């Protein structure tokens, strides 16, 4: 076996080797959170897609279970058990997924059942939904949820007029499904910043909460946008009101995550009613390097996602993630007198909270230095004039095979001098940044690391606290 790649995350979920993409089948069942995921057990590229399986009693300790679903040779899913979700009903797990055959532009919906907590599965012999609706040019990724007296299903699709859509189905028995048409067909299209919401919608997800005024519900539709030529693009979220007949009326879409490496997020309804979310964070380094490393992709940390009273999406790491904190690495405060101020070493897997107030006229914030001379660094800066938090990875790897770029989280309050409160989790090659406003940004970076990683404060008034993060040992069997 090759040496362990230094960019392999320590606390983010993924198997030690090979390819993963979307989280699938997220469900609480038998006292465990189950996280399935798109997985090629044979190599670091998208092929032979199985459903891998992790579970946890508490979102802190995770164990990897045997592969749950594998393609049946000669079967409808012979070339991949593509994405879908799962429900827990009457002591069993029922998974809904997309059955892939190479060369077919759409994936019919099929199902499998487990009576032993997801260890072994029996596939239903015939397809559940064998044909997509007319006028679609892409079709996959079922998402099933329970309403009072019936089940509902969304399936991702592209319409022949070039718009993405989520197809809505209903069932009373999970076996017979009636197609009702596109869900929220009149949803406004462009994303802020000019990016369209895409020709295809993959992995539609739907969450809901009682409306603050007690009348009906607030809904949240999450989609991943896909382009026929360029493939996966970004993730958008629509929030809006449901009328009492269950019709969803979405307002303008927002980006769910402001980073470049966040896709196919999926929801889990926790027993306490919280909606949790995981996404796929893909590699941002050249495929040759990925091949040498022998693995690709990771799942983001579990997030709690909610809507504020006015319908704004709010994300934070799940509160359980705090239990991964070990020793405190640093606590530092004060205005920067002479630039930069060295705050101390942080290791390559840590959790940080910061309060940052830059002076007007010049972005200021934190630098994570990963080389001895600090020429290799990842910056998180507040631009008060622009009203933005900037995450800059353009100098984050001296290896030219890593992707660079600068990304921005809107924070208009900075224009009037408000401090930025943020949480940042760094895990070797991934960083997830959360503002107290509920905005999030995920990106990948690949330092050469010829020195211990250390933190600097640059032209900013700051309070920073950081803790080492470590995954606890796997629980014993049972």
Chain positions contacting ligand FRU, by CB under 6 A: 21-22, 38, 49, 82-83, 98, 140-141, 202-203, 232, 263-264
Nearer CB in complex with ligand FRU: 53/140: 140
Paired strand residues for 7: none
Among residues 239, 237, 186, 169, the alpha carbon closest in space to that of 209 is found at 239
Nearer CB in complex with ligand FRU: 219/232: 232
The least distance separating ligand FRU from the CB of residue 52, rounded to whole angstroms, comes to 12
Paired strand residues for 92: 89
Nearer CB in complex with ligand FRU: 263/446: 263
Nearer CB in complex with ligand FRU: 156/358: 156
Give the DSSP per-residue string, 1-57.
-PPPPTTS-SSS---SSEEEEEEEEEEEETTEEEEEEEEETT-SSS-S-EEEEEEES
Structure tokens at 37: 């995921």
The least distance separating ligand FRU from the CB of residue 73, rounded to whole angstroms, comes to 18
Question: What's the order of all strands across the beta sheet hosting 122-123?
Answer: 81-89, 92-99, 109-114, 122-123
The least distance separating ligand FRU from the CB of residue 431, rounded to whole angstroms, comes to 21
Nearer CB in complex with ligand FRU: 96/445: 96
- Cβ atoms of residues 295 and 6 within 8 Å: no
Q: Percentages helix, strand, coil for the chain, rounded to the nearest 5?
A: 5, 50, 45
Under DSSP, is residue 413 helix (H, G, I), strand (E, B) or coil?
helix
The least distance separating ligand FRU from the CB of residue 356, rounded to whole angstroms, comes to 34
The least distance separating ligand FRU from the CB of residue 283, rounded to whole angstroms, comes to 13
Q: Where are the alpha helices (DSSP H) in 190-342?
A: 287-293
Nearer CB in complex with ligand FRU: 202/257: 202
The least distance separating ligand FRU from the CB of residue 222, rounded to whole angstroms, comes to 13
């Amino acid at each position: 076996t090759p040496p362990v790649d230094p960019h392999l995350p320590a606390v983010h979920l993924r198997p030690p080797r090979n390819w993963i993409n979307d989280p699938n089948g997220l469900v609480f069942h038998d006292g465990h959170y189950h996280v399935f995921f798109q997985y090629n057990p044979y190599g670091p590229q998208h092929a032979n897609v199985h459903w891998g399986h992790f579970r946890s009693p508490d979102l802190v300790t995770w164990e990897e279970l045997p592969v749950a679903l594998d393609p049946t040779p000669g079967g409808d899913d012979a070339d991949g058990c593509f994405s879908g979700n799962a429900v827990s009903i009457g002591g069993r797990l029922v998974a809904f997924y997309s059955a892939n055959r190479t060369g077919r532009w759409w994936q019919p919906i099929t199902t499998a059942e487990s009576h032993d907590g997801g260890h072994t599965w029996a596939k239903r012999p015939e397809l559940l939904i064998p044909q997509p609706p007319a006028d679609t040019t892409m079709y996959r990724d079922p998402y099933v949820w329970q309403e009072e007296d019936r089940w509902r299903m969304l399936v991702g699709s592209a319409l022949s007029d070039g718009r993405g859509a989520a197809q809505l189905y209903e069932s009373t028995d999970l076996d017979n499904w009636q197609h009702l048409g596109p869900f929220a067909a009149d949803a406004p299209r462009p994303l802020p910043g000019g990016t369209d919401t895409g020709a295809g919608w993959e992995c539609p997800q739907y969450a809901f909460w009682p409306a603050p005024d007690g009348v009906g519900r607030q809904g949240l539709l999450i989609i991943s946008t896909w382009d026929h030529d360029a493939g996966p693009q970004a993730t958008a979220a629509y929030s809006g009101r449901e009328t009492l007949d269950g019709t969803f009326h979405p307002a303008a879409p927002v980006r769910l995550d402001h980073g470049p490496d966040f896709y196919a997020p999926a929801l889990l309804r926790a027993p306490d009613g919280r909606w949790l979310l995981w996404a796929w964070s893909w590699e941002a380094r050249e495929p040759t390097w990925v091949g040498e490393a022998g693995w690709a992709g990771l799942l983001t940390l579990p997030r709690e996602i909610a809507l504020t009273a006015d319908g704004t999406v709010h994300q934070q790491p799940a509160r359980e993630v705090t239990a991964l904190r070990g020793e405190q690495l640093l606590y530092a405060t004060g205005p920067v007198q002479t630039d930069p101020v060295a705050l101390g070493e942080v290791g390559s897997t840590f959790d940080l909270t910061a309060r940052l107030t830059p002076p007007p006229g010049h972005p200021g914030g934190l630098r994570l230095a990963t080389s001895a001379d600090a020429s290799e660094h990842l910056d998180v800066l507040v631009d008060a004039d622009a009203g933005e938090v900037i995450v800059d990875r353009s100098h984050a790897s001296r290896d030219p095979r890593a992707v660079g770029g600068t990304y921005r989280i809107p924070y208009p309050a900075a224009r009037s001098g408000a401090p930025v409160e943020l949480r940042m989790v760094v895990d070797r090659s991934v960083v997830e940044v959360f503002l107290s406003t509920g905005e999030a940004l995920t990106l990948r970076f690949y330092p050469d690391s010829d020195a211990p990683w250390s933190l600097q404060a640059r032209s900013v008034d700051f309070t920073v606290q950081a803790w080492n993060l470590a995954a606890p040992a796997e629980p014993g069997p049972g």
